[in-house]
Structure 1
Amino acid sequence: DTPLTNIFKSQISSLVIDVIENKKQSLIEYVNAFIFTHIITIFSNLQYLNFCPSLFFYQYLSFDNSPPTVFSSTLLELRVCLENFTDCLYLLDGRFNQLRTLHVKIFDITFSSLVIDNKDKLPNLKHFLLNCDMKIDGYDELLLPLLHRMLNLEKLCLCLTVCERNRFIDISDLEKDIINHMPQLNKFLFNIYSTICFNDQIDLPSNEDIQHRFKASKDNKMISCIDYFPSRKEGQCHIYSYPYRGESYKNLTNNFPGGFFQYVHELTLYDERPFEHEFFLRISQSFPFIKR
């Protein structure tokens, strides 16, 4: 290293690193872990890092079931795509103790054979965004304990699909399990699907039940939609904060409550009842910028 190089390393405080897809590279996740580790090591004054935002899911950063060997007391904001929930726990085990903002997209949140006893609070974390690609089967056991460590959080954004529960997630769950644990929270954006399996139950919650709970809430900028699919013996509840900020809307059904979705570019439909012409007229008005 030259003196000029050392000055260069210490002066860089903000960095965006992206990787172009190489289909011939089968070990790119290990390469990404190597690059990530060296960035934290080399740039001693790094405060903002956006690491590989354009990666496909099979290229997400992973530490291969062993914690990274780097620490930073300067990093304030991190945006990263991770392979699994364990990788997220590694990043929040105290190695980035001044972290204020974490935006993380995780491919899979599921149970692991690894035991990571992370219970320390995260008092410096103010903003947390979590987006998960796959269905989550450990919402209560994995995700909620992590959120409960964020006692000073001011802004929270959750984009999730939750399965393997015996009841839907509704506003009462969000208040009891999340909002009441974050006294500093002033902005909560969410887009949450939850699914349940049913056989011959008679007393299944209706859309009116969920809406009634929403009306009793302090925040009325929330929308809910419940659907039951008898042939699959599955129920789906979609709750989201409005205006809707997501770029995609999944599993839209005939019960779609309407609205205006200016950011949505991708839309998928699913229902066991046929879609009528009037339905598509409503869709064209609600989603004017659909690309596919």
Structure 2
Amino acid sequence: MGVNKRLNRLVQDTIFTRDLYLQEYSPVDDSTIPLPNPILDRFCSKILPEIGHQIETLYLKGTSIEPVLHATNYPNLNNLGLCDIHFKQAMSLFVDENPLIHIFKNQVSSLKINFNNKNNSCPMVGISSVIFQKILTIYTNLRCLKCNPSSPFGDALYLYPANGIAICPTLLELHVSVTDMKQCLHILDGRFDQLRILYVTFDSVSPEFFNIEDNVEKGYSQCHIYSYPYKLKVYNNITNNFPGGLFTCVTQVSLYDERPFEHDFFLRIAQSFPFMKELTIKNQKAQNKKQFIKSNSDDQILSIIEYPNLTRLDLTNTHDDYIELFLFDRKMSLPNNLHLCVDYQSLERVTYYFTRYITRNHCAKLAGVYFYPLNQIDENIKNYFPHTCICRAVDFV
């Protein structure tokens, strides 16, 4: 190619030419910028025409987008990233008259596009939505689309109802920023009937949410939106609002709330996570319905909660009521190989200083109990946990 010998060797190696990221790193602000014109001109005139047939992935930025795309043919290109692209530039690219349309039409299966409107060169509202619709129309083989996935509110998409009509039947994965939750629901109205993975960012929350008074004590909140079927092994920070369901892949669960967990909640957890092995509970609120249960002469009015696969239980940050719940054999059925991490003082109170009969059965069958400090262990404790390994809390890992 006559540029220089070292570069000649690199560009002829498919390891380097298969995936090209034509951007320059800027150490000033830890960002990327378009290639300088001299380097860009050399790539477009000398290098790309020689290696265009080898390129499968191409990431371009700003002013280098069109020169690179026009430099040569890319018969094997299937992954395309267009970063920092201006709206007018994007509008001209995604029209039927553009000579590059053959690349977009059938080849590209994965597209990432991030818009740049820092100079407010054209109105933001609605422009990104128009481009989004054009992309879905032009890319007939699109499998993955990342369209302004984390844009500011003004650049977010606004989607109209599609009345169940599939407008991109090939799309499997979508990353997008929308104006509000209603727009998120429009995505799921049937227009993407093969969609499997959805990542959504939205900044606008309905005003009704701002007026909810639920005695929140902490200065933060959480929102969980999960796909179904749920394939992850971990499900964290479940609250009383948990609707239930069946999660057969989950083995590790944590529960957290500022309102008490009642008996029926733990039943719902048992039904939803039949293969749960690890459970962590964080709740400092006493149970409201505990006194009602005590006032009944028949404790069996409540179903016994069963966690047959549970091997690790962390109750170090819970109210005594939850320790009592798990140690009462009339309320809970536990396996023989369970390791329990618990606060020592709480355990003393619940077991009446290791003399209480109704908690003795479960304590005797524990494989391990973890608390701090260990220098308080005496014969009463050892007799109360006759077959249990007594360890430090720091060893509960």
Task: State TM-score, norm by structure 2.
Answer: 0.35
Relative contact order, CA 8 A, sep 6+: which one is greater? 1
Choose between structure 1 and 2: higher helix proportion: 2
